[in-house]
Amino acid sequence: MEATEIRKLDALEDTHWWYRERRALLAGALRRLAATGVRPERALDVGAAGGGNTRVLRAHGWRPVALEYSAEGAGLARDRGLHVIRADARQLPLPSAGLGLVVAFDILEHLDEDHLAAAEIRRVLRPGGTALIAVPADLRLWSAHDVAVGHVRRYDRAGLRALMEQAGLVVDELWSWNVLLRPVAAWRRRRSTGSDLDRPHPVLNLGLRAVVAAERHLPVGALPGVSLMLRAHRPGDRQPTPVTLRALTDTAPHHAR
């Protein structure tokens, strides 16, 4: 992602409906993992940009490192007091089998060799460690927005599952997100000439956030959405208690949104 887009993201991240709901989903996932007996340990936020998701990890007791390729994003995260390393997701400068959690939200689609990044995620996870992945869905939604933010591809379910399994991860759950707003997104993307990163009117922002948050209480995860979410683990002796991603996203309290 170009420096201009990273600065836009940083300016919007704390208030924009999309980023706030995504942080709520991550917070819910962490609480559900804790409820199954998973204790916070070392974690990695791949493609952290300004570090919004890294802060969520830290707030829930994890010891996170923000990994960011760009100097712009790394600087923004560092300014927020986060532990940051600059590196390529395809060559993580971390020892093998040392992390309990890797979060990679909207990073794989930027990489030509996404299989190398997936393999690295598997390598740095300890046996039983969890990977939480988010990617843009459905090539039919491809638009000028994807070009502007540096996407290489959009994923379908079969392709994302195959990517993770070929890397040696066990997929626990795979589901769609931003389902209810998909018709709006498709309409806007057909007319877009650049990035969709902008600051909506506060009333519109509140309304969009309410719509997408409603998905946590509706059985829509099997329907086509704008994004795909995946939870997987590295097989081994220490495996997490099975829990669906639907459950992972149902308990986010208001303050996490």
Over residues 52-86, the pLDDT tens digits come to 999 999 999 999 999 998 888 888 888 888 999 99
- Min mean pLDDT across 15-19, 143-147, 253-257 is at 253-257
Q: Is the dihedral angle over the CA atoms 186, 20, 248, 42 positive or is it negative?
A: positive
Residue scoring higher pLDDT (257 or 184)? 184
Nearest residue to 155 via CA among 142, 169, 136: 136
Cα–Cα dist 237/224, whole Å:
35
Average pLDDT of span 101-124:
97
Architecture of domain 3-250: 3-Layer(aba) Sandwich (3.40)
The answer to whether 24 and 248 are in contact (CB under 8 A) is: no
The angle subtended at Cα 231 by Cα 150 and Cα 240, nearest 5°, is: 150
User: Which tokens is 219 given?
Assistant: 């059985």
pLDDT of residue 213: 94
74 closest CA partner among 106, 108, 105, 50: 50
Q: What is the mean pLDDT of residues 227-256?
A: 57
* pLDDT higher than threshold 70 for residue 147: yes
Q: What are the start-end ranges of the E strands in 8-83?
A: 42-46, 63-68
On the question of pLDDT at 12 being above 80, the answer is no
Least confident of 107-121, 170-184, 186-200: 186-200
Give the dihedral sign, CA 242/89/176/50: positive
> Listing from the earlier edge strand, what are the strands of the sheet with 227-233?
84-86, 63-68, 42-46, 99-105, 125-136, 227-233, 170-177
- Report residue 220's pLDDT band, with 50, 70 and 90 as the boundaries: very high
- pLDDT of 3: 54
Q: Which residues contact 91 (CB under 8 A, 6 or more apart)?
A: 116, 120
Give the start-to-end residue ranges of the domains of the chain. 3-250
| Mean pLDDT of the residues in the chain | 87
Higher pLDDT, 4 or 246: 4
Q: Which pLDDT belongs to residue 177?
A: 96
* Residue 243 clears pLDDT 60, i.e. is over it: no
pLDDT(99) > 80: yes
Which range (64-68, 89-93, 143-147) has the least confidence? Answer: 143-147
pLDDT: which is higher, 217 or 199 = 217
> Residue 104 contacts by C-beta under 8 Å, 6 or more apart in sequence?
46, 47, 89, 117, 121, 131, 132, 133, 134
C-alpha 114/C-alpha 226 separation (Å) is 19
Give the three-state DSSP class for 42.
strand
